[in-house]
Structure 1
Amino acid sequence: MMMNQAYEKEIVAIILYTSAFFIIMSVVLVLFFYFSRKKIIQKELEKKDLEIQYQKELLSAVIITQEDERKRIAQDLHDDISSKLNIVSLNSHLLTTPNLSEAEVKEITGNIINLTGKALDNSRKIAHGLLPPVLDKFGLHAGVEELCLEFCSSKSVEVNYQNNVQFNDSDKDKHLHVFRVLQELMNNSLRHGKASIVSILFEENNNVKTCRYSDNGIGFDLKNSINQKGLGMKNIESRIAFLNGVITIDSQINKGITVVFNF
């Protein structure tokens, strides 16, 4: 009888210890999953914060670029076209002066015609900078061809351009961003990269269009945060983000730069 009671107590003790063990394990697992989930949520929030910060930086780059462009246009209009038109206006008033000789009238008229012609040329250049007519009328391929010719005309750089893509005219808005990206890259190659050769290649695989850009310039250190966060690069990244594309940049000191992006 005593043995049975001892045996029953042992069974009860085992059940109690086993139950306690499972309860403790359950609590540990609950805490583990709770803190793991909390850590995952925290990391997701941090990732979202980084994405929001990145988007803010891109938006800021676009706004700053737009403002700089507006200032440049305003400066061009004021310093060049406005000043020429003021002189045209003064010369026009001179024509109303009494007793002008035929030679004086001819000289004043010549000045008016000359200055008006220069003002028209400069206004066309400003309009071309805002939206290249060739790009608007004939598409991205023609626009890039003209851009390459403009850079080649400086005699300081050789541009090799190859296009294996058929661009759709309905995507003109997107193509303007591609054009601006290439324009920014080529300006950087000349101004900062001191490049003498630039290469541009358009290809298409599985309905994804890719542009490969490279130069033989002095390059830069990708690890340098200043190079990564420059306004020009932020402007490029913002345009690629608008196109839902991906961009990769590879550069080394004295080994030029290679940029690949899709759109």
Structure 2
Amino acid sequence: MAQLEQQVARRLTRFYILALTVLAVLALSGLLFIRQTLNDHDDDSRVVNVAGRQRMLSQRLTKLALLQTTEIPTPDTASFTALLNTWSQIQRQLRDGTLRMEKDYLVRKSRRIDQMLAQIEPVFQSMYQNLVRINTASTTPEEKKAALQAVLQAEPLFLEQMNAIVFQFDQESFERVRALERIEWVLTIATLLTLLIEGLLIFRPVVKHTKDVIRKLTESDEALRQTNAQLNMANYDLENANRQLVITQRELLWATEEKYRLQMAEEKIRSAGLLEGQEEERRRFARELHDGIGQMLTGLKLHAEKLKAVPFAEPKHRERFEELCNLIYDVIQTTRQTSHNLMPSVLNDFGLGAALQFLAEQTTRSSGIPVTYEGETEGKRLTPAQEIGLYRIAQEALNNAMKHAEARQIIIRWQHDGNSPTLTVEDDGKGFVQKAAPEKDGLPQPTHGLENMRTRARLLNGELTIASKRKKGTKVTVCLTDTRNA
């Protein structure tokens, strides 16, 4: 029997590891596809922006050529030669397939775009040569006028064809994003199929094996009942039977107590693992927000700030651009705030006292409710698990006070004296009457917020007490009884 159980366990373990490996590969493949597409989309966006800028430069060069030929004074201080060189250089880089700016951007061109760039090349060369002729000091006024006439004739065709090229770039970029969506669907379906196979090949055998074990236990229990009945019917010595019964009762009591201790230890380990998994997921999300989306938003902000020096054709365009910059800044601030709420860096760097003080100041700024911190900000550090557990309890208590208590003032106290540090969150809100937890099937069911705080305190070898009265406020206290074994 033991050998059979080991064979079943090994087989199920292999299937489980294989299923997890497939899921991990599918997840990593999806992330790599998304990362590659984001990088390609960034290049595509830059290319579309630069291609659209070519139209603006051609119009500006035409205007400057017209003003220079007619000798009309203009407040535009831009260098005609610099603009002409920039316009020519970008057009050549679009044709060659690489934009060389703050970094190299790949111009991914289809056969259609290559044909369109080849088609626009004669028009571009005509405009460029005539603009060079206008900018040459030795050119006579009549030659400049003739060159200007050629530029004016070629400019509408250049703008029309350049518009078509920009739209084609944008369309092809959109098609590549759609292709990624299709790949993501394929990966999602593959993941669901893997989960289905895992359920059929792993969980069903486990359930079947469990049923067999329960059946054998039931049969064994029935055999035990029959044996007891036979023993009761026998004419044994009453004193020996009583003595045996007492021994059996003691063993049963010890087994029950041991089972209860094992259940409590298992529940504590499960809760600790769940909370640790939650904290690890929060750390991962915080890193993703800060290092991924935060960096991209910062880059977007820098690109937007570079465009502030570009003149706008209409004031409303400037106003919309300023609104866009403000929106980008608000998104960056919101992202930073979310990342900090998930995993505050000040907790790891400076300890629980500094983190609680920062939490109080941040809550005061965001909610308008005065939150006061009383306690030391430097001193002996606790273990990382104790600090994050106490910090989460303070967060939950503070959140409850702001959401439900309608408090006018909240106080956070932190005392770290010897081996019994104490955390207190007190408010002057409306308070509440503590009720028994709701029951289901005769068992108490905890409420999430208060039970989370109690669970964290229990895992830290601490005690959580809540004192609250109607219109008298609420006081939440956590006292760690032994910080050395937490």
Structure 1 length normalisation: TM-score? 0.63
**CA distance 1:61–1:196, shift in 2 (3 Å):** farther
Give, as a single letter, the amino acid of the residue that structure 2 aligns with 1:29: R
- Equivalent positions of 1:1-263 (< 5 A) are 24-49=238-263, 52-53=266-267, 56=270, 101=313, 103=315, 106-107=318-319, 109-153=321-365, 157-163=369-375, 166-169=378-381, 171-172=383-384, 174-226=386-438, 229-263=446-480
**CA distance 1:235–1:250, shift in 2 (3 Å):** same
8 Å CA contact 1:248, 1:261 repeated in 2: yes
The structure where strand makes up a greater share of residues is 1
Long gaps (5+) in structure 2: 1-236, 439-443, 481-486
Question: Which deviations, in whole Å up to 9, do the C-alpha atoms of 1:177-227 show, x marking residues without a partner?
Answer: 322211110110121222333332222343231213333333333342049
Cα distance between partner residues in 1 of 2:260 and 2:419: 34
**CA distance 1:60–1:135, shift in 2 (3 Å):** closer
Deviation at 1:251, TM superposition (A): 3.3
8 Å CA contact 1:219, 1:252 repeated in 2: yes
**CA distance 1:156–1:242, shift in 2 (3 Å):** same
**CA distance 1:106–1:243, shift in 2 (3 Å):** same
**CA distance 1:143–1:50, shift in 2 (3 Å):** closer
Give, as a single letter, the amino acid of the residue that structure 2 aligns with 1:187: N
Aligned residues with identical type, % of pairs: 24
Give, as a single letter, the amino acid of the residue that structure 2 aligns with 1:190: M
Which stretch of structure 1 is more off in the superposition, 166-175 or 202-211?
166-175
Cα distance between partner residues in 2 of 1:151 and 1:240: 23
- What residue in structure 2 maps to residue 16 of structure 1? none
Give, as a single letter, the amino acid of the residue that structure 2 aligns with 1:123: T
Structure 2 length normalisation: TM-score? 0.38
- What residue in structure 2 maps to residue 20 of structure 1? none
**CA distance 1:121–1:247, shift in 2 (3 Å):** same
Deviation at 1:56, TM superposition (A): 5.0
**CA distance 1:169–1:60, shift in 2 (3 Å):** closer
Greater RCO, 1 or 2 (C-alpha within 8 Å, sep 6+): 1
Which stretch of structure 1 is more off in the superposition, 182-191 or 147-156?
147-156
8 Å CA contact 2:353, 2:414 repeated in 1: no
Question: Which deviations, in whole Å up to 9, do the C-alpha atoms of 1:27-60 show, x marking residues without a partner?
Answer: 4223212213313322442454355457656766
8 Å CA contact 1:156, 1:196 repeated in 2: no
**CA distance 1:64–1:144, shift in 2 (3 Å):** closer
8 Å CA contact 1:209, 1:262 repeated in 2: yes
Cα distance between partner residues in 1 of 2:426 and 2:414: 12
Q: Secondary structure at the match of 1:259?
A: strand
**CA distance 1:170–1:211, shift in 2 (3 Å):** closer
Deviation at 1:124, TM superposition (A): 1.7
Give, as a single letter, the amino acid of the residue that structure 2 aligns with 1:39: L
Which stretch of structure 1 is more off in the superposition, 131-140 or 165-174?
165-174
The structure where helix makes up a greater share of residues is 2
Q: Secondary structure at the match of 1:262?
A: strand
Q: Secondary structure at the match of 1:260?
A: strand
Q: Secondary structure at the match of 1:161?
A: strand
Long gaps (5+) in structure 1: 1-22
Q: Secondary structure at the match of 1:208?
A: coil
Q: Secondary structure at the match of 2:462?
A: coil
